[in-house]
Structure 1
Amino acid sequence: MTSNIAEQLNNALVEGRSSPIIELVMFIQGMMTRWFSARRKKANKHRGLMTIEVDKVMTKTMALVKGSKVNSISSWSCQVVGKFGGSESVQLEQKKCTCKYFDNMKIPCGHAMIAADNIGLEYETMVGHWYKTVAWRETYAGVIRPIGDPRDESIPEDVRDAMLMPPLTKRPPGRRRTKRFPSTGEMPGPKKKSVPNKCGRCR
């Protein structure tokens, strides 16, 4: 949710980027077909009300506030006091918490889950609709069909008879770049340490 989806897609298209435009479109179509098919099967097998990743996030968040105390303010409001004295105010009806995680992410924070346990509220009712398994299945319900035979398409005569020339471009010297330029403020990943060659007998 914090990564740019365009960067991930750009990384997935590295293999087909150097191909002609028609081959690139076919490469993207095949890749998206595989992705949708795999995710559709995974979503249909899942039996929980929330998606797998959201369930993991909530379990990890709950462990961070384990041992906190809950002070009831009203039937839907609570004050959660942590082990080190910090306190947060939770309003379950408005789905808000003073830590702002619940407000912004629409995923219940640890304070909200402890407060929900105090009044017997199910966690699933506090999660945003787009994090539920129903929305997950709806996302990949569409089918990306293979590209049909071009001979089956009806092409107008003026388009068929048109002479389309390639653009007048000059290829820059040197080998074409395969990796993108890093964005402003982006930290490069750690470099792998080179292992020196050793003799197989004497080491």
Structure 2
Amino acid sequence: MLLKFIPNTENVVFISDRHSSIYHGISKVFPAARHFACVLHLKRNIRTSFKNKHLCYLVGKAARAYHLSEFYTAFNEIKTINPSCADYLIGIGFEHWARSHFPGNQYNIMTSNVAESWNAVLREARELPIMPLLEYIRSKLMTWFAERRNVSKRERGRITPRVSEIVQANFEESGGLHVSTINNMEFDVKEKNGTSFHVNLNTKTCSCFSFQTLMIPCAHAIAAAITEKISVESLVSDIYILDKLASAYTDVVYQITDAVCGIEQIVEGGTGNLKIFPPVTKRPPGRPRKSRILSTGEIRMKTPSKRHFCSRCKKTGHNRATCKVAI
């Protein structure tokens, strides 16, 4: 049913934990779409299978490298430390886990998927009967959509808050860069160590490959834009503007009272005294689970213990009943 809302094109990218059923489903329903492995799950598999934390670091470094030279520097180190791990990564396919080899648009902004979000939101509500549970979900969606529709009114500027943070971080890194003009809108940007990068503001590209991959100006592009007195925000792709974010939530979620009445009228008018019963199910033995099953290599985070605070000595860790100052 996802195909009714998301087209089968090369611009669509699915990121998963490489489960075989996901591979099968994508190849069947979205044959033109691209598939990328989640780096977090990949690192967990490496840690579980090869018992080496440094390998996890190198895999993450190779996966997030923009330039081929950076990728092979990290991958050759992986091959030296553990050839079996290198063979495992080759078997996956570089184009499925390395940014420098991936032909599609992966971007660099990830959010928790909708299943994880609802799993946390419905922690208490999942114990409710079916109708109150549905009403809770509808009310939560209505609130979320309304808040995100108004994001363009609350925020200042042209781009979304997350992208604005990335641009600000790149702006701080651009302070020590030396910019020389090559041609109209083309610049030679040098770092303090002497490394040179070619920036073209017309095509919005940089030889570091970060600019054209993320479609967010890198530190080199920002330094060139400041020299040319061009607005940095104008170099950010239109996919990151606030209007695009707000347009994703243009639909309004209404109450379901009128809709339910309409369904009842249709049922009564079409089939007479039709009674719809719930499906026959058998409850499994034991208590129902309240927490999800952890994936491979995932560690359950412990809830921090509550700290006592004495209102008289103003120190944490003290209990007023036993504190000498309080007594």
TM-score, normalised relative to structure 2: 0.54
- 1:201 matched to 2:322? The reply is yes
- 1:132 matched to 2:245? The reply is no
Among residues 159, 170, 173, which one is paired with 2:286 in the alignment? 173
Which position in structure 1 is the counterpart of 2:177? 68
For the residue of structure 2 that corresponds to 1:37, the secondary structure is helix
Structure 1 residues 11 and 76, CA, compared in 2 at 3 Å: closer, same or farther?
Answer: same
Which position in structure 1 is the counterpart of 2:214? 105
Supply the distance in 2 between the matched residues of 1:179 and 1:68 (Cα, whole angstroms). Answer: 50
In structure 2, give the amino acid aligned to 1:2.
Answer: M
Deviation per residue, 1:85-124 (Å, 9 max, x gap): 3332222222222323222221111111111122222222
The residue correspondences of 1:71-90 to structure 2 (distance < 5 A) are 71-90=180-199
Unaligned runs of 5+ in 2: 1-108, 308-316
Supply the distance in 1 between the matched residues of 2:275 and 2:145 (Cα, whole angstroms). Answer: 37
Runs (4+) off by over 3 Å: 157-160, 185-191, 193-199
Which position in structure 2 is the counterpart of 1:151? 261
In structure 2, give the amino acid aligned to 1:66.
Answer: G
Structure 1 residues 61 and 161, CA, compared in 2 at 3 Å: closer, same or farther?
Answer: same
Supply the distance in 1 between the matched residues of 2:273 and 2:226 (Cα, whole angstroms). Answer: 68
Greater fraction of residues in helix: 2
Given that residues 90 and 98 in structure 1 are in contact (C-alpha distance below 8 angstroms), is that contact kept between their aligned partners in structure 2? yes
Query: Percent identity, aligned pairs only?
Result: 27
Supply the distance in 2 between the matched residues of 1:167 and 1:133 (Cα, whole angstroms). Answer: 47
Among residues 133, 144, 154, which one is paired with 1:35 in the alignment? 144
TM-score, normalised relative to structure 1: 0.82
Given that residues 44 and 137 in structure 1 are in contact (C-alpha distance below 8 angstroms), is that contact kept between their aligned partners in structure 2? no
For the residue of structure 2 that corresponds to 1:88, the secondary structure is strand
Structure 1 residues 159 and 109, CA, compared in 2 at 3 Å: closer, same or farther?
Answer: farther
- 1:53 matched to 2:169? The reply is no
Supply the distance in 1 between the matched residues of 2:133 and 2:217 (Cα, whole angstroms). Answer: 42
Structure 1 residues 31 and 122, CA, compared in 2 at 3 Å: closer, same or farther?
Answer: same
Structure 1 residues 134 and 163, CA, compared in 2 at 3 Å: closer, same or farther?
Answer: closer
Supply the distance in 2 between the matched residues of 1:171 and 1:159 (Cα, whole angstroms). Answer: 36
The Cα shift of 1:125 comes to 2.1
Supply the distance in 2 between the matched residues of 1:130 and 1:54 (Cα, whole angstroms). Answer: 11
Counting matched residue pairs gives 202
Given that residues 43 and 133 in structure 1 are in contact (C-alpha distance below 8 angstroms), is that contact kept between their aligned partners in structure 2? yes
For the residue of structure 1 that corresponds to 2:126, the secondary structure is coil
The Cα shift of 1:143 comes to 1.5
Supply the distance in 1 between the matched residues of 2:276 and 2:143 (Cα, whole angstroms). Answer: 36
Among residues 250, 254, 276, which one is paired with 1:141 in the alignment? 250
Deviation per residue, 1:129-176 (Å, 9 max, x gap): 1211221332233221111242343233438514434323132213x2
For the residue of structure 1 that corresponds to 2:175, the secondary structure is coil
Q: CA RMSD in A?
A: 2.7
Supply the distance in 1 between the matched residues of 2:294 and 2:272 (Cα, whole angstroms). Answer: 41
The Cα shift of 1:199 comes to 6.7
The Cα shift of 1:58 comes to 0.7
Structure 1 residues 103 and 167, CA, compared in 2 at 3 Å: closer, same or farther?
Answer: farther
Higher relative contact order (CA 8 A, sep 6+): 1
